[in-house]
Structure 1
Amino acid sequence: MSLNNIFQYFVPKDRVFFPLFEQASGNLIKLGEALQEAVNTKDDSRRTDLIKVIDDLEHKGDDITHQIYLELGKNFITPFDREDIHSLASAIDDIADYIHGSANRMALYNVTTMTEPIMKITDLILQGCIDVDKAVRELKNLKNIRTITDSCVRINSMENQADYIFDKAVAQLFEYEADAKEIIKYKEILSALETATDKCEDVANVLESILVKNA
């Protein structure tokens, strides 16, 4: 057992990093829910309001990530490897960034007609955020390893589904859409959404690394 692992038994570790990680992952669910409502609503003014909500939530996520980095600099003893703490915080923040980026593209490009692929990938993003949150909340004690690994498996499956939907949607855009500007708009939105699912998979990879090192 490493010296860091011995020390962690004597440190109130749940008072610093784990609450911050849980705030960050909980914030992801709010972002995913707001995005899902934004792409499903028929009310343009409501969508505008939701995109502002997403903007605020993304800033909140940035603040939480910054706080994790600050705590990392102040705390000599950490519940798991410092590199993994940094990687996990960064990966969670990346999900928030791409959800935000997707919503921003919808607003900037004045896209009000949401296609089925956009809705499907948005649903998958929310699913991924929920699984990220489930896994992060089990990091406190690492007793329910199966819960974490099951979440990681679902995230990987979700990302594969998103890849398929993205590839098919882009192929259909090129085949059936004659307006080059519309192709660019929708491809950009789809790409940002699909990247958000990639970032969920990055979180799963970090979580699996933590399990290997600490289980």
Structure 2
Amino acid sequence: MSLNTIFQYFVPKDRKVFFPLFEQAAANVVTMAQMLVDAVGQPEQKTRNEMYNQIDKLENIGDEITHQIYLELSKNFITPFDREDIAALTSAIDDVADYINGSANRMLLYNIDEITEPIRKLSDLILHGCTEMEKAIKELKDLKNVRNIADCCVRINSIENQADDVFDRAVADLFLYERDAVKLIKYKEVLANLETATDMCEDVANVVETILVKNA
């Protein structure tokens, strides 16, 4: 057991501010992912664009939460687990938000008017990955349900593998059937950003597993 782990038992509960902030960050990412799913399922492009703009606003909220976590990290000598793991988890959650927002921004800026089945499938997988991520992060505050956390991480890894398969097939189809080079580039970049969002969920799972190894 690390010295930092021993110290945490002597920290007043009202100073344990990190877990609520982690949960807020994860919940915000889930909201972004749900809005992305709703947007790509929306037939009206104008409404989709409004949702994309809302995702951008939510990403700004996530940035504020990230800033608050780093501020607390600079103010608190005693932390619930290793400082580098807090920083890594914060950065990983923020990366998920960045790629969800990046995907939405590209669909907005590139004027993607046809929402393909791979875009919908990848958006669904992002939401599933973010939901599992939120479940795992909620369990971190007491580490009583290590099995539940580990299961969430396994499911996130499976979701990322599924996203790889969807992305590979979609890009292969683009090169096979799409004759408009500009359209091909636009859709490939959107698909790549969506797939990378699931990679970022896996990065969160990897950090969570590291925390489990050190503290469970």
TM-score bucket (shorter structure): over 0.9
- 5 Å-filtered alignment, 1:180-199, equals 180-199=181-200
1:38·1:47 contact (CA, 8 Å) conserved in 2?
yes
Aligned CA distance change for structure 1 residues 76 and 183 (closer, same or farther; 3 Å) = same
- 5 Å-filtered alignment, 1:10-21, equals 10-12=10-12, 15-21=16-22
Structure 2, unpaired ranges of 5+: none
1:80·1:214 contact (CA, 8 Å) conserved in 2?
yes
Given the alignment of the two structures, is residue 7 of structure 1 paired with residue 7 of structure 2, yes or no?
Answer: yes
Partner of 1:176: 177
CA RMSD of aligned residues (A): 0.9
- 5 Å-filtered alignment, 1:44-193, equals 44-193=45-194
Aligned amino acid, residue 177 of structure 2: Y
1:36·1:126 contact (CA, 8 Å) conserved in 2?
yes
| CA shift for structure 1 position 3 | 2.2
TM-score normalised to structure 2 length = 0.98
Aligned partners of 2:134, 2:213: CA distance in 1, in Å?
A: 19
| CA shift for structure 1 position 5 | 1.5
Partner of 1:207: 208
Aligned CA distance change for structure 1 residues 13 and 113 (closer, same or farther; 3 Å) = farther
Question: Structure 1: which 4+ aligned runs deviate by more than 4 Å?
Answer: none
Aligned partners of 2:45, 2:213: CA distance in 1, in Å?
A: 47
Aligned amino acid, residue 7 of structure 1: F
Aligned partners of 2:201, 2:136: CA distance in 1, in Å?
A: 12
| CA shift for structure 1 position 13 | 5.1
Aligned amino acid, residue 22 of structure 1: E
Aligned partners of 2:180, 2:50: CA distance in 1, in Å?
A: 29
Aligned partners of 2:202, 2:59: CA distance in 1, in Å?
A: 19
| CA shift for structure 1 position 33 | 0.5
Aligned amino acid, residue 32 of structure 2: L
Aligned amino acid, residue 205 of structure 2: A
Aligned partners of 1:177, 1:169: CA distance in 2, in Å?
A: 11
Structure 1, unpaired ranges of 5+: none
Aligned partners of 1:18, 1:116: CA distance in 2, in Å?
A: 37
Q: Secondary structure at the match of 1:9?
A: helix
Aligned amino acid, residue 9 of structure 1: Y
Aligned partners of 1:102, 1:13: CA distance in 2, in Å?
A: 39
1:88·1:206 contact (CA, 8 Å) conserved in 2?
yes
| CA shift for structure 1 position 185 | 0.5
| CA shift for structure 1 position 23 | 0.2
Q: Secondary structure at the match of 1:137?
A: helix
What whole-Å deviation, never above 9, does each CA across 1:149-195 have from its counterpart, x for those lacking one?
Answer: 01000000000000010011000000000000010010000000000
Q: Secondary structure at the match of 1:111?
A: coil
Aligned partners of 2:13, 2:62: CA distance in 1, in Å?
A: 21
| CA shift for structure 1 position 49 | 1.3
TM-score normalised to structure 1 length = 0.98
